[in-house]
Amino acid sequence: MEVHLSLREMLADLRDGVVPDDELAVFCLSFCTAVTRHHVGEDREVFPVLAARHPELRSFLDALQRDHVVIASILGRLNDLVGDSVKLGQELDGLAAVLETHFIGEEKRLAGVLNALDPSVGLTPLTEAVEFR
């Protein structure tokens, strides 16, 4: 949830125009990389562990992975739109809606399950995702 909070804050900075124009491309790339690393970490490290221990979550985890593909597609368009504030703003609004729905669902369904995991399982990719800030 800490990673989600940090990603939400980064996205809010992008949407609210807090990032200066001359830093926008680098900040956008950092944000996109952080989201991607977080989702790749979930897909490779976390979801297989959860699916093995909680088979009842498999369809939900599959849906989250499909979300990751949609989110990756949106992220792939962001850097190309940095010079066009109207289109960038629209894309960021869409991304915000998708990410918020994704994060809320994940937090509601998985927080208790994740909190019950042994920390030695090695799920560090999730917490390393926002070291760019």
* Distance, CA of 30 to CA of 28 (rounded, Å): 5
Task: Please report which confidence band the pLDDT of residue 117 belongs to, taking 50, 70 and 90 as the band edges.
Answer: confident
Mean pLDDT (the chain, rounded): 88
Nearest to 126 by CA among 42, 51, 66: 42
* Distance, CA of 106 to CA of 65 (rounded, Å): 11
State both tokens at 106.
Answer: 């994940």
66 alpha carbon, distance to own chain's centre: 13
28-80 pLDDT per residue, tens: 999 999 999 999 999 998 899 899 999 999 999 999 999 999 999 999 998 88
76-114 pLDDT per residue, tens: 998 889 888 899 999 999 999 999 999 999 999 999 888
